[in-house]
Structure 1
Amino acid sequence: MTVQPAKSAPDRTVLEGRFVRLEPIGPQHAADLYAASLGEGVPERYRWLFEYPPQSVADVENWIAAVNAGPDRYVTVIDKASGKAVGRQGWLRIFPDHASIEIGGIYWGLAMARSPLATEALFLFARHAFDDLGYRRFEWKCNDRNEPSKAAAKRFGFQYEGLFRQDRILKGESRDTAWFSIIDGEWPALRAEYERWLSPENFRADGVQRTRLGGR
């Protein structure tokens, strides 16, 4: 059977969900993203990223300008309840010819912690990649020492593929990179589970989930 490439790289388009809206990142999001980079636990979240926590709105504006000038395509996660930008994520390693793409550069702020926002932000990327653009491989990578990221990958349905030893130098330290992926044959069952979990019926009136993703 002939294997087909993906249709294209992701367009700079809006992806709409029930809890979040993903918008192409721009300077209009800088103030909110800076606010989302303040507070308890932020240094630990930035520990695993290639950049340091921003010290001003101007730092965020400069970062946005830099990533928009590069090959990756970043979006801002907008909390539809508040209308504020609460995080960001990017399309990385975009290979339409091989139908392979990565979600990375993730910073989900404290407002997204223990809420459906992060799950739906991930789901909107995966659905767009597989269903709209025809990708056959959706990747997640992280520092092997980043246990929360590895746990999140498994919760989201990614399969662990292995370890790239001494893969990067991150802030003066050697980074071993853990690789995870979802492939197109796994996606239909995962999509159905995401849709079940994100449905209004799975949440009580106070917003607490009735069941976990994956039924666990």
Structure 2
Amino acid sequence: MSITTNEYGQPIGAPVPGWSPRPLPSAETLEGAYCRLERLNAQRHGEDLYAAYRSASDDRDWTYLSVGPFNDPQAFQRHLETAERSVDPRHYAVIDKRTGKAVGTLALMRMEPNSGVIEVGFVTFSPLLKRTPISTEAQFLLMAYCFDELGYRRYEWKCDSLNAPSRAAAERLGFQFEGVFRQVVVYKGRNRDTAWYSILDSEWPVLKQAFKAWLAADNFDAQGKQRASLGELRKRLS
């Protein structure tokens, strides 16, 4: 790989010709085959989301989130009202198109339009969508929106370094591990070392093809089991 140098012979970053700041997210709805993402609305989505989250056998899904768990609907509704008003993070409800019900949420956050960097976070998926095509498609819809429509250069995923399920999800979705930042956050009275992952715009074309191939109807048998994993499809396309 060639190295760019300045007039003093110092190595500098590669030029980004024609770059301009990216727009902030503004989409109210993103449509997929299995789900759609709607801008979070506490009144419209609150009852469905509370029921979806309470269908879990315990509160472990809230351990690594900075909020929750919520054991009464009034407290949960207040949380949603606060999230609805937020611009960064910008929260979306995941709607199961078969039932029309909200079954989880996720958000775009830590937006840096001048550099084209954005993060997906506050991923709060209920048992009604975990391990279903909906959970993958919801992530794909946000990625495609940020890369294809808004033109961002870098899409990030960060989590507690001890959160093994989140780290596995990032790797399954094609994020690249970049390292652990120590003692970055204090939440719920405890320390968080943060694991960083990212996808770059140069990596997106192959990932996009893999997502589309994985989500295709013919990738699932009659019992709904995948024929090829996302990882296998990425290897074939690389």
> Which residue type is aligned with residue 51 of structure 1?
V
Measure the CA separation in 2 of the matches of 1:68 and 1:175.
26
Q: TM-score, normalised by structure 2?
A: 0.87
How far is the alpha carbon of 1:63 from its aligned partner?
1.2
Deviates more, 1:61-70 or 1:192-201: 61-70
Q: Number of aligned pairs?
A: 216
Q: Secondary structure at the match of 1:81?
A: coil
Which 10-residue stretch deviates more, 118-127 or 38-47? Answer: 38-47
Aligned to 1:21: 36
1:12–1:73 contact (8 Å) kept in structure 2: no
Instruction: Report how far residue 43 of structure 1 moved.
Output: 1.2
Counterpart amino acid of 1:9? L
Which residue pairs with 1:44 in the alignment?
Answer: 60
Larger Rg: 2
Deviations 1:71-116 (A, max 9, x none): 3210000011111100000011011111000000010100112111
Deviates more, 1:72-81 or 1:34-43: 34-43
- Quick one: percent identity of the two aligned structures? 40
1:35 paired with 2:54, answer no
The reply to whether residue 7 of structure 1 matches residue 19 of structure 2 is no
What value does the CA root-mean-square deviation take over the aligned residues?
1.4
For 1:67, the equivalent position in structure 2 comes to: 83
Which letter maps to 1:87?
Answer: G
Whichever residue aligns with residue 48 of structure 1, its letter is: Y
Match of 1:54 in 2: 70
Q: Which amino acid aligns with 2:28?
A: T
> How far off is 1:56 after superposition?
2.6
Change beyond 3 A, Cα 1:61–1:151? same
1:36 partner SS:
helix
Relative contact order, CA 8 A, sep 6+: which one is greater?
1
From 191, 194, 201, the counterpart of 2:208? 191
Report the 3-state secondary structure (helix = DSSP H, G, I; strand = E; otherwise coil) of the residue aligned with 2:114: helix
Q: Matches of residues 23-172 of structure 1 in structure 2 within 5 Å?
A: 23-27=38-42, 28-70=44-86, 71-172=88-189
Tell me whether 21-30 or 199-208 shows the greater mean CA deviation: 199-208
Q: Which runs of 5+ in 1 are unaligned?
A: none
Q: Which amino acid aligns with 1:19?
A: Y
